[in-house]
Every structure is written in structure tokens, then in C-alpha cells.
Amino acid sequence: MSLVERVQGLMNQAHADLSELVAIPSVADPRQYPPEECLKAANWVVDRFAQVGFTNIGLHETIDGSKAVYGERLTAGPDAPTVLLYAHYDVQPPLDDKAWHTPPFQLTEVNGRWYGRGAADCKGNIVMHLTALRALGDDLAVNLKLIVEGSEEQGTGGLEDFVEKNPELLRADAILVCDTGNAAVGVPAATITLRGMVNVVVTAEALTGELHSGMFGGPAPDGLAALIQVLSTLRDAAGNTTITGLEHDQTWHGAPYPPDQFRSDASLVDGAGLLGDGTVSDMLWARPAITVLGIDCPPVVGSAAAIQPRARARLNLRVPPGTDAVKAQDALIAHLQAAAPWGVRVRVETEAIGQPFEARTGGPAYRALSAAMLEAFGREMTTLGQGGSIPLCNVFAATYPDAEIILMGVEEPLALIHAPNESVDPGEIARLALAEARFLQRYRT
């Protein structure tokens, strides 16, 4: 039986694996879900990878309280290269349950796609690894190490610290960071740049307590209105992110992202325009981008005729390669404080920060992967930027400067990762499992 046939024959098992894993609500935030769910997912990973030959496999505590799964399969001999396989088992919360067309923690097939929280990001990549390894059996030319983390979506740095404290444990010649994806279904890609990120919480405080809007409205400053005015200064009329002291005119020189495809992928409502004065690729992969993730203020239903003394917002700033994330953070904080109107107090607290990343390409691992992708997809692999942030990649690069770091995975625009109705195309799992399997057969340093 050919490798292609073995992968196809394993797709029912892949569906069963993903069904079990998606059913575990492994959100690494104890304020929302019990920590026992993450532990259950971690143990599931331990069990399944033990079944495909990994030894010395178990859970490792990290500084943020999450459990990382580490295992190894060092059977190819000391002269063979070592490949580290990465994924994460924690997921984003489902957000609005009512916005889901299917139960978020029940894998459901609709029009050929498999829906559920984590189906693509990143449990689909765990299943992709398993499918590739099951198809290979003992036909491996490399030594393998595995690291699957449990707090990637929280950005709390547990695995980053673990890598720095255990550099020899995870040392490898090639690192497959499987938490990105293709340009479109069936279009193979390796991600070569990542934007960094800065998360902050900004609070605007104008009064010591609520005041009746009829008795005091007009001269009394409004904390919520002040916050809205501060936030409005972060973009210009064209939608460009305009933070004082931060460049916003960079250009992307790689593969373009066609505007019509982006409109479709992003599901823009009729009449909505694209933001910024650059191309889609410029805006996504080369320039800073600010997003308001949430606002604490009274809901419409139940609100009173009162002036709000304070309000706060959680902001996410994506930082392009070539810009230092610490400098971007400092610029954002200074901008928010300078934009405070009417003498209101503005406080800014940093939640998380991660530097942008740019991979080195052209080495033997990239060449082997490119050939494997061509065989699996029937078309040449392209290279992409990625708007998301994976701070771990910079830690890998600093800790293992000679390793080739390859970002790939089953996620693509239709997957709607981090949003309601996340899904995965099972064909992507099959093709990428085949590509990974071929890579593991053929990679030589």
C-alpha cells in the first residue's frame, strides 16, 4: 500500500481523534473553564503519541501553571537529524455560543468541513501529526521530539520559559511549528514572517462615581466618552493604524493577497471597504494594526441615565517584522496617554508582548519540505506572511540559532480561527499529513 493510500485509509481515525479532542473544552483560562479540561487534553495527547512510539513522554509544569507535553522517538541513530514537532492543545473560548451554527465542542461535518472549536487551531494540527506518524509506521529517517503546549492562546509565556530553561531537551535540526496554514484550501505554503504583538488594557477615569446625566451632563467629563475619543485617535480616516512614533507605510514584497479573495475570506458585509492605503498584503503582513478586543462599560440593556466615571478597553497591537515590539509598546502607551481629553486620567497596563519573527529559508529542511508539499498538493509551495503572533518562534530562534524553523499547518482563511464557526477542511489534514510524512522520510541535513 502506498503512503498516499495509507494516509487516506487513516482519515476515519483522524475524524475520531479530532472528535474526541474537540469535545474537551481546553480553554486555558480558569476564569472561564475548569483547569481539569486542559489536563484532560494534555493526557489525551500523551496517550495518543505513546501509541505511535514516543517514549519518555509526559507532562511538564510551566511557570504559568499550564502543562506541556514532551516526548521523543530517538530511533534513527546519532547521525540522523532531529526534528521537533510542535502544536498546542489549548483553544480560544467559543465566544458567542449563539453565533455558532453547530455546537462548539462537538465536531460536526457540514458541507464537507469539520466544525468545532480547535478543529483547525490547533487540534487539527495535532491530528495531522498523528496521521502522518501512523502512516509512516517505522519508516523514519529522522529522530523525533514532540512538544505540545497548553497555554498558547493565553500568551502567558509558559513554554517560552520552559524552552529557555531546558535548551538541550528540545534541541533539534529542524522545528515544525504547526500552528499556521495555507493561503487557501489546496494551496501549500510555509509562513516565513510573523507579526509580533502587544496587548494592553487602557482605563480612562474622569469621576469618582456615577452622576445623573440630567443633573451633571454637559460640564462633567464622561469616562466612557473620553475612552472613545482616545481610541478614535488610533486610526486615520482611511483606516491606517496611526500611532505616534510608529511607522505605518511599510510594504510586503512576497506573494500578494488578492483583494477579492480577502473580501471573501473575511466575509465583509455588502458595502464595507478595506482599510488602509496599502495593499492587503501590506496591511496584513508589513504594517502595524490595532484592534479593540473588548470594552468594559454598561450594556445597553439595563443601563441607567448616568455619566460613566470610568471605562476600559483591551487593545491588541500587531507589530510587523523590522519593528521592535518594546518600542511599539512604548509608542502605544505614550500615544494613549497623550490622547487623553479633558484632563481625565488614562492608565495603561501591558498584558503581553511578543517580538515579530522572520524565518531563514533555503536550507535542507525547507528544500525537503518544498519537495514534499509539491508531491502532496500537486503544486509548488509558496511563502506567506502571517498576521498572527507566535512569540515562541523567537525563543526557538535565539535558543537554537542553527535550526531551521518551519511554520505550516491546517489553518487557512475559511477556518475562521478564533471566531465562531471555526472549522477545518479534512483534505488539508490529509495533504499536510502526507507532506509531513514525506518530509520525515527524506529530510537530511
8-state DSSP, 121:
T
The angle subtended at Cα 35 by Cα 31 and Cα 36, nearest 5°, is 145
Q: Are 9 and 1 a contacting pair, CB within 8 Å?
A: yes
Out of 64, 152, 205, 265, the active site residue is: 152
What is the spatial distance between Cα 10 and Cα 8, in angstroms, rounded to a whole number?
Answer: 5
The residue type of 425 is: D
CA atoms within 13 A on the CB side of 171: 7
Q: Is the peptide bond before 297 cis (omega within 30 degrees of 0)?
A: no
User: Do the bridges between strand 423-424 and strand 113-115 make them parallel or antiparallel, or are there none, so unpaired?
Assistant: antiparallel
Out of 37, 90, 205, 425, the active site residue is: 90
Based on its alpha-carbon atoms, the radius of gyration of the chain, rounded to whole angstroms, reads 23
Residue with cell 455619566: 307
Torsion of CA 426, 407, 173, 60, to 10 degrees: -80
Helix (H, G, I), strand (E, B) or coil at 265: helix
The angle subtended at Cα 104 by Cα 98 and Cα 106, nearest 5°, is 135
Find residue 372's DSSP bridge partners. Answer: none
Task: Give strand ranges (E) for 223-360.
Answer: 289-296, 306-307, 310-319, 345-354, 357-358
143, containing H or E segment: strand 143-149
Torsion of CA 341, 343, 345, 348, to 10 degrees: 40
Supply φ then ψ for residue 17, to 5 degrees: -60, -50
Helix (H, G, I), strand (E, B) or coil at 153: helix
What is the spatial distance between Cα 133 and Cα 326, in angstroms, rounded to a whole number?
Answer: 40
Q: Are 194 and 389 a contacting pair, CB within 8 Å?
A: yes
90 among known catalytic residues: yes
Residues recognised as catalytic: 90, 152
